[in-house]
Amino acid sequence: MKKGVILSVNKRFVTLLTPEGEFLKTKRQEREYEVGEEITFSPAKQKFTLAFSNIHSSFKKRPC
């Protein structure tokens, strides 16, 4: 189980941001969700994970 803050909700999935900077999805359950709410969840099967540390390293300034 992981914890995360809800970023968006659609018919099938909830997208969350974890404290580690990962964007993950979980299957939507039969309950009300509110953007900004922190929940404990089980991640859905992932194709990829995007972490802030990976983005930052790819945008570092390079010497000219």
3-state secondary structure 32-61: CCCCCCEEEECCCCCCCCCEHHHHHHHCCC
What local confidence, expressed as pLDDT, does residue 48 receive?
55
Top CATH class of 2-58 equals mainly beta
Question: What distance separates the 2 farthest-apart alpha carbons in the chain?
Answer: 54
Question: For the chain, what are the domain ranges?
Answer: 2-58
What are the pLDDT digits (tens) for 4-52? Answer: 999 999 999 999 999 999 999 999 999 999 999 999 999 887 555 555 5
Angle among Cα 13, 17, 20 to the nearest 5 degrees reads 140
Please check whether residue 30 is in contact with residue 42, taking contact to mean a CB–CB distance below 8 angstroms. Answer: no
What local confidence, expressed as pLDDT, does residue 43 receive?
86
What local confidence, expressed as pLDDT, does residue 45 receive?
74
